[in-house]
Chains A and B, each alone.
Chain A
């Protein structure tokens, strides 16, 4: 297995944001069937080490391609664009306002009559926000790959991904809050 191939090549998929999930999972499963440590419980130490390394690589690959935010970041990386979410401050005021409002809601969730229902509502809201970003990203990414937008002028796709990461961070914070309620 060539660990230097990119994840799309690894699973024999075209490089694109839209991927056929069942093709991805079929390729992943048939590769895991071969390299997984389950097959090397009685193998030599070298085989075991190699097997863990490859199985971990496959897991990393499928995790990257399966999740929209990670996939978007990875696609930009393949275009030579490293997204640095911490340094990206050029978010639209509208977006930041939304985020602030959501964060405020999150802070008072614990005091609601039914905090679990309030959390579910928050999850739904950010899921739809994220879906809107995904559509935007696809359009921006197509521009890059069709050379309408050159690599040097890619700020749009980058900004969208930064927002996606922002929303993902919020989702993790909701998850964390949920843990504390139980």
Chain B
């Protein structure tokens, strides 16, 4: 709080100026100005970006952001339960690679291959959950370990090569099935499939959090673990389920990503865990758990996706884009803190 004795007697400013008469109100005004400036800047760059307002570009942004949105929904639930999952980027890569390897090299039918991918995500999530609940290891450490492990498993599985890899310079050893490619680049009645899947996941997440007992248990667990337990909630089971769900969603994101790139590899999805956490935080979910929601995370993921696209259209180089994204995350959280403290 800003306190200055000389400012407590400012009634001299009179009725006209009372709305900026106290430091709190002045900060509140400042917060609003920053918000307006930020929005205007965003609109300016969007509107001056070459070819931003075209159907092709909209589809492009949607397809690129879809895996991020799917991850952000899972990460929202994890963070509301007062956890964090650092392994999701690695699970994206492993599950995408596993489904591709299973179909391309092991000759497993496409439906089963996709199921194997999703199941591997569930299994890795389950292992995360078991380490955290039974082993009583902090979420951060357990999933950090899984992040490294799953990357390693993916590299072992693929031999470090893209799947499918090349037989000669021009021909591939095998081809990805159209079903997986459809997940990333197909359409439904003209709408791109990836964003539709992401939207379905957002709705699923919203229903779970707002309308189910499981969702209520997630909030209770993150808000006050001890009180949740004393109220009869099986906190370990809740946490376990949250991580399994996260694992499945990460695997789904991996399949969508594989489909969009028309290829899987064990190093894809690098940094996606941090992007998903950033989307959740930008969306207003409390990083300490207990409050938040998936709609905010959807907005958070979209803001990041659109910004990345706009910077690309403006031909900003990738290295500089990283700086901008990093500053965006810090700025949004700082802004949110100020808003919480001073209102407005």
> Are these two chains actual partners, yes or no?
no
